[in-house]
Chains A and B, each alone.
Chain A
Amino acid sequence: GAVVSQHPSRVICKSGTSVKIECRSLDFQATTMFWYRQFPKQSLMLMATSNEGSKATYEQGVEKDKFLINHASLTLSTLTVTSAHPEDSSFYICSADRDVDNEQFFGPGTRLTVL
């Protein structure tokens, strides 16, 4: 089956540092990937749509300068949380939309803790 990986699975950082999270489709091409954020006991909230070779589309209320997205290849999208603060602590999940049939597959998620 189709596999999407995320790295790292868990990260703890100090306030003010930047953190990069990778989302890879391991066995399929994905022109489009999606980044979600999930706070404890809440649902997944879409942050942005990542498109290979073009700028990401951010949802309303999501700061694009704070959450930098780069979709450099058909199998890799990265989310960089710049100058992270404790309120950015959350569970970040990506999904990749398989080009051949537009079926979406989720990564296992990254738990970010900002001290």
Chain B
Amino acid sequence: AQKITQTQPGMFVQEKEAVTLDCTYDTSDPSYGLFWYKQPSSGEMIFLIYQGSYDQQNATEGRYSLNFQKARKSANLVISASQLGDSAMYFCAMRDLIQGAQKLVFGQGTRLTINP
């Protein structure tokens, strides 16, 4: 069975600093995708970044990058130059990439607070 672990319930960071949110995963499937979502207080799930298990390069999207270490089964999210608007819950998730629609499995989440 797939499992996602986020060990940081809360993180407090000064504005403009970089922050790393940890995520480790466990799966026996050779082909899978890893996702990070941001959930502000409004509740909507905002997709941030995606990494496929066979991708050679770490994914980047603007200020977001994913530090993918396959052998260690970790997929940490790095946010550079944090902003006050980055304060939210962040969820790491994974899904199989075998044929067809596959459910997402979520980690427990990390609440990030950016201090001015």
Please give the residue numbers on chain A whose beta carbons come within 8 Å of chain B beta carbons, in ascending order: 31-32, 34, 38, 42-46, 49, 91, 93, 95, 97, 102, 104, 106, 108-109, 111
Contact = CB atoms under 8 A, between A and B. Distances in A.
Contacts, number: 46
Interface of B: 37, 42-45, 47, 91, 95, 100-109
Contacts of B47: 106
Contacts of B42: 108
Nearest to A46: B103
B45 A102 contact: no
A43 B106 contact: yes
B91 A43 contact: yes
Contact of A43 (B101, B102, B107): B107
Most A CB contacts (10 A, CB to CB) among B45, B47, B105 go to B45
B106 A49 contact: no
B26 to A, nearest CB: 16
Given A43-B107, A109-B43, 20 more contacts: A32-B100, A34-B104, A42-B108, A43-B108, A44-B104, A45-B106, A46-B103, A49-B101, A49-B103, A93-B43, A93-B45, A95-B45, A95-B104, A97-B101, A102-B102, A104-B95, A106-B44, A108-B44, A109-B44, A111-B43
Given A43-B106, A44-B106, A108 B43 contact: yes
Given A43-B91, A43-B108, A44-B91, A106 B103 contact: no
A55 to B, nearest CB: 15
Contacts of A44: 45, 91, 104, 106
11 contacts: A34-B104, A42-B109, A44-B104, A44-B106, A46-B105, A91-B43, A97-B101, A102-B101, A102-B102, A109-B43, A109-B45
A72 B101 CA distance: 18
Nearest to B100: A102
A53 B43 CA distance: 30
Contact of A32 (B37, B45, B101, B108): B101
Choose among B37, B103, B106 the residue with the greatest number of A CB atoms under 10 Å from its CB: B103
A5 B75 CA distance: 30
